[in-house]
Structure 1
Amino acid sequence: MLTLGALIDDTTLELTLLVPGPPGALDREVLWLHNTELPDPSPYIRATELVLTNGLWHSTVTSADFVAALLRARASGLIYGLTDQTPTTPTDLVDACAAAELPLAAVSIAVPFTAITQAAARMQTEARQSALSRLVRRGNALASSISRGGGAQGILDVLRRDHDLPLLVVDRMGRRLAGTVVDDAQIHVAVDALNRHPPPLELEVPGIGTAAVYLVEGAMGDIDAGLFCLRPLAALRPAEQDALEQAARYLSLEVTRQQALQAIESRFSSELLEMVLSGTARAREVSERLRAFGIDPSAPLAVYTVVVGNDELRPVGSTDEIEAFFSHRGIAAVVIPGSQDTVVVFGWHQDSASLVPLAEHLIRALATRFPADRTVIGVGDLAVDATGLRDPLIRAREVCHVMWRRSTESRVGTYADVGTHRMLLGLHDRSVLRRFADDILGPLRVHDEQHGTELERTLRTFLGNDGHWAKTAAALYVHVNTLRNRVARINELTGRDVTRLEDRVDLFLALEADALS
């Protein structure tokens, strides 16, 4: 790095330090050298340039005025070239530099300014080569870390070999991917910054102070994460900023890789549900898929269905919290997020009674992470092996959804706790349910299509209103007599009388079976 101190340390230049300036001034990086004899060179000097002069301006302006001009230009220091006419540095110039705390050095008559320029060029070249070498070395180390599966933490470990910085990597979903451990409030501030348009270069983190933000792009070019250096930008040296920018680019590769893996895992896990619900027809595929997730398909298996949140929309990070819960306990599990619920399939070598206490522990863990959201968990029966997963899955889902509708608090439930017709329907093959629904509802749909009527909608509304004629007529915006005519036509086409309990049950179950299949 080019500094005045480095030039002074080069004995071939024969530089003598006369005024050291403030602490650290000699070690500050110099942009370049500027040779001038102008009385006021301030319009032409760039900030942090080192000025070289023979003092020809001395007959025109005072040393104090010349030094003031250098201060206005934010010069980093002054080198005075001695000549036969001025074999010593003028005293008033030394005094002016001392008063202004501007570093001052003198160069002997035998050394021309070109020698100083050549030395400065050599130093800058060496510094650039060194920086490039570090960049390449660190790039190789970062690529190696990613290829070995070091993840975001591996990238930070490589960065810290050169720079001792407090670092944090957070994605837009509020997950801490690596780095310093922070609390939820600090994570929230980081996530808020990433979701701004445009994101800030700095932000105030509670309890920490100003942090620099380096954006991490995902596969689609969106800002998917951030590398946060818990120091302000002004406190970072250029080499540190370059290293952070390089690390952010490699984090983009890591985030993209993780997104691809998550997409594959999500597809694989979603397909697992379809396989399980297909019954024995895809039993072999279920076993292979479970084995791919590290679960023994020949051992006993348990199923949870989890709903977190107050509006059946999962809060950000809830699926990760469920995965972490099982991972920390060493339980091999596949966590399958759906549109409203999350299904967990895991190996279980204890009795089925112990599944409820485990679910209660999970509720407490989620309550700690999401205190404002309620959690409902449906527990399925213990399956002997992968071939018996279908019924426990259906029961766990139905138990969970029934409890969600009936309760406003967090709770755990089993099939024995909750009874509903939907569970009985769910245990039947979907093709059977489809035929049952079509046999009863088919004639209504054909009539509606051919005549432009609304018999199926009328039936749904009538049963939904518990058979109340006036209430149903009002909901359909028709006269009660019109409703009675429609119901009579429904009775005729379906062969069921909606006024009889047995027939009404058939019609209701047909509608429910239609929804399930």
Structure 2
Amino acid sequence: MRLRALLDTDALGLRLLGGEDELDRSVRGVMTTDLRDPSRYLSGGELVLTGLAWRRDASDSEPFVRILAGAGVAGLAAGEAELGDVPDDLVEACLQHRLPLFAVNEIVAFATITEHVVRQVSGERAGDLAAVVDRHRRLMTSGPTGGGPEVVLDLLTSDLDLRAWVLSPTGRQIAGAGEPLAGHVAAALAGQHLAATRTGRRGPHRAEAGGTTYSLFPIRNNGRGTVPAAPRDVRESVLSDWLLAVEADASDWPAARLDLLQGVTQLIAVERDRRDAARAVRRRLAQEVLELVQTGAAPSEIAARLRVAAPVLLPGLGTAPHWQVVVARVEWSGEDADLPGGQVAQALLEEILVDPAVTGPDSADRIAVAHTGDEAIALVPLPAVSPASAPGGPSDVEGAERPEGASPAGTARDTGARERRDTALHADSLLATVRDPLSAGLADDGRLTLGVSAAVHSAEGLRGALEEARHARRVAAARPGRVCAAGHHELASHVLLLPFVPDDVRRAFTARLLDPLRDYDRRHRAELIETLEAFLDCDGSWTRCAARLHLHVNTLRYRVGRIEQLTGRDLSRLEDKLDFFLALRMS
């Protein structure tokens, strides 16, 4: 702003005492001081406010003004509350050094002048920054350069002293300037944003978290990503839109600054569209695999498609991974219960499957989610176990002799199964950090239910995993709450093999339990299925079973250990024995 503008505001109560020819000077800030030498605190362009406490006699004025002029201040405003009229010696010193001088009426507080100048100056800076943002937008929309949202957030911090973060609907930090937000603060802000959006109120929304005030600006999807640009109902986009969290109260911001932040959100939306477009390949892969599985395609055809998908989802992977299937459904109640939920569930499931400890927009690159109808289905690759512990690896020599009583159950079986368990998804942990914010977005008329399958190691097991995940989701849907999930471990029971359970679910469970053994027998001619049947028929007696199969007891122990390793079960447990018994009878 210019010094001249100060005289145009009657509320400031300023009178010009000298320096009329210098009123076009730019004001960059305000400083209040009564120090005799404030030069160390001046950087140039300030309007200096003083109560004249530094003045003891007329000889003090000229040195004080000389210091201000040397520091390049824009002007001096002297208060009349302490001495009455501004002394003539100060007026003469300002004229000598060509420093504009104002008198401040005693009824006007310095704080009023400071607030007015800061607001005007920040508005000017916002205008300058808006030009930078617009230039950055053109760069991002015209080519691959631009630097991403972090560049603009850094500009907000450096030019307007605003700390800001881009958050997902679950509170995951996508971008930020400076220190990241604490996890619980980000989740709280996401929840408040979703709740405010569901009420239909326009942003920005004021929020409190961790004793700090924030303003939350929606980042609307532009329509080239997952959710339509102009949904007919806020519920179609509330669970997929990002938000910009700014550490400030925007309720009294000037229009220029609000417009600037809206421009920033539009810029970030452009970047989001770019990232969503990059996910198209992974979504298409998931859709193709899903269609093959659901239409009953040959396992070899599904396996070929999985071999194409694995390098895309897990770059650098040398062998085919294990796979898990996650099924999600978003359902609405009330008059508009027919709102489409498949695309919303797809976007939401992509976000839920991101590791919460990982930040950045590209952290979902290894997730492939398709949707069909109101259902979203994720194909999740898991790194394969190490060769030393994998079936068929160096330790996998059929018939190897082991000391009496020894079992590989504590070695190879534990290592391979434990590695798979460590990398596998678990229903409860998926929702641990996102349940609260998503519940706020679902409000009183929405539900999200998830089902998670066990890991499968081949194309043959993928259909079973899909049915298992779907059945787990139905189990979750029977529970109370807005956000619920169930995993395969809640289905891994002989109860699933009883007649009243749907055929698809029973077949899926049987296949998941026995297919690894059949595959192993086919590759190694190991007769694990025959060994399992004999072991159960002999009630778990090592001696009787070994005699029946004409094997050494050590060889029998090794085979049983291999069965346990491949299935993750323990044949010393009654529940696991019963599962195997019923599965064999129904296969």
TM-score for both structures, normalised by structure 2: 0.44
TM-score (norm 1): 0.49
